[in-house]
Amino acid sequence: MADSPLFQALHMEMAHALCAEQEKGLGALEGVGFRVGQGLSERLTKETPSFKDELDALKFLCKDLWITVFKKQVDNLRTNHQGTYMLQDNQFLLLSQLSNGKQYLEEAPKFLAFTCGLVKGALSNLGFDSTVTAEVPVMPSSKFQVVIQKS
Amino acid sequence: MSRQAGRGTESKKMSSELFTLTYGALVTQLCKDYENDEDVNKQLDKMGYNIGVRLIEDFLARSNVGRCHDFRETADVIAKVAFKMYLGITPSITNWSPAGDEFSLILENNPLVDFVELPDNHSSLIYSNLLCGVLRGALEMVQMAVDVKFVQDTLKGDGVTEIRMKFVRRIEDNLPAGEE
């Protein structure tokens, strides 16, 4: 199948149902994403040798992982070469079902939490601890900031 | 370059397992959030219902099936079109009631439960309960009130997974009667 209606429908419903109680809900959503990120990252890299460095891992995230979940690659990856990365997706799949109006900007955290967890989980599986935050500069694009924690 | 090609094929396969992985993660989270299995079951059913109510439009658009004339046709469409389209399996239809208002869907294997084992302290959990809600919500949107429940579950040691569907009543539109 070219797209993933069941996954998208499930994501949409999770964003609503789990976030009925705001604060706790975002954490729960992120937790779900984290587990999915770990699992996907594990399965996608089963046959391949481990990444030679942090940047390689981020590139895998932006290509293979993103395509698997969001049907396209990340449009823009920037880094300061000091552990901070910015991933930008200009046609973010999980925002595509929402109208482009401003009213959804308030709700945006609900629709980004799962993916923040996904990124964290994937990186965690590859041996990197990170913090991930996200924002919607303008619908339907999303920007994820990843900061790799130095141990 | 061969390394990339290998990853590409993996990606396609992973796509179809994305839902299963996400579903598993959701059930795990709900088991954390709720104290008992019954509450998780209810929440899964509710979420499934909300999904079904929206998914029906997607289904009708993709599948191009016409209006079903009776419950037997509905059963066929559910098993041979809907399940195939969304989960890649075709359950068999059995155990029709004499009145023709109840049947079972038999799933030899349930893709949702790949790699899943129920831990001992969750014996009342109906792991795939989302499916019941989805079917109920979707059918409600096409004017059918149905009862859907799992009667056998491979996760609980049964040989197959069996979903029992019962037609309750037709839901009348609020539209005035007339030719369409």
Q: What is the residue whose two structure tokens read 């046709």? A: B73
Question: What's the domain count of chain B?
Answer: 1
The minimum CA-CA distance between A131 and chain B, rounded to whole Å, is 20
Q: Does B73 map to a domain?
A: yes
Instruction: Say yes or no for a CB contact (<8 Å) between B47 and A17.
Output: yes
Q: Does B6 map to a domain?
A: no
Contacts by A76-84, CB closer than 8 A, 24 or more apart: A79/A55, A83/A54, A83/A147, A83/A148, A83/A149, A83/A150, A84/A145, A84/A146, A84/A147, A84/A148
Instruction: Say yes or no for a CB contact (<8 Å) between B15 and A1.
Output: yes
pLDDT digits (tens, 9 = 90+) for A40-88: 999 999 888 888 899 999 999 999 999 999 999 999 999 999 999 999 9
Instruction: Say yes or no for a CB contact (<8 Å) between A43 and B10.
Output: yes
At A31, list the tokens: 């937790």
pLDDT digits (tens, 9 = 90+) for B52-91: 999 999 999 999 898 888 999 999 999 999 999 999 899 9
Domain that holds residue B152: 16-170
pLDDT band for B109, please (50, 70, 90 cuts).
Answer: confident
pLDDT band for B10, please (50, 70, 90 cuts).
Answer: low
Question: What's the domain count of chain A?
Answer: 1
Instruction: Say yes or no for a CB contact (<8 Å) between B46 and A67.
Output: no
Please report, for the domain that includes residue B21, its CATH number: 3.30.1380.20
Say if CB A106 and CB A21 are below 8 A apart: no
pLDDT band for B45, please (50, 70, 90 cuts).
Answer: very high
Which are the contacts of B60, defined by CB distance < 8 A and separation ≥ 6? none
Q: Does B28 map to a domain?
A: yes
pLDDT band for A106, please (50, 70, 90 cuts).
Answer: confident
Q: Does B161 map to a domain?
A: yes
Q: Of B19, B28, B29, which has the smallest distance from its Cβ to A7's Cβ?
A: B19
Q: Does B50 map to a domain?
A: yes
ipTM of the predicted structure?
Answer: 0.92
**For chains A and B, what is the number of CB pairs under 8 angstroms?**
89
Does B170 touch chain A if contact means CB atoms closer than 8 Å? Answer: no
Q: How far is CA B88 from CA A60, A69, B54, B80, B84, in A?
A: 28, 18, 20, 10, 4
Please report, for the domain that includes residue A58, its CATH number: 3.30.1380.20
Q: Of A9, A31, A32, which has the smallest distance from its Cβ to B51's Cβ?
A: A9
Does A40 touch chain B if contact means CB atoms closer than 8 Å? Answer: yes
Does residue B93 register a pLDDT over 80?
yes
The minimum CA-CA distance between A107 and chain B, rounded to whole Å, is 19
DSSP state of B142: T
pLDDT band for A19, please (50, 70, 90 cuts).
Answer: confident
Q: Does B179 map to a domain?
A: no
Domain that holds residue A10: 4-148
Q: Does B8 map to a domain?
A: no
* % of chain A surpassing 90 pLDDT: 72
Does A149 touch chain B if contact means CB atoms closer than 8 Å? Answer: no
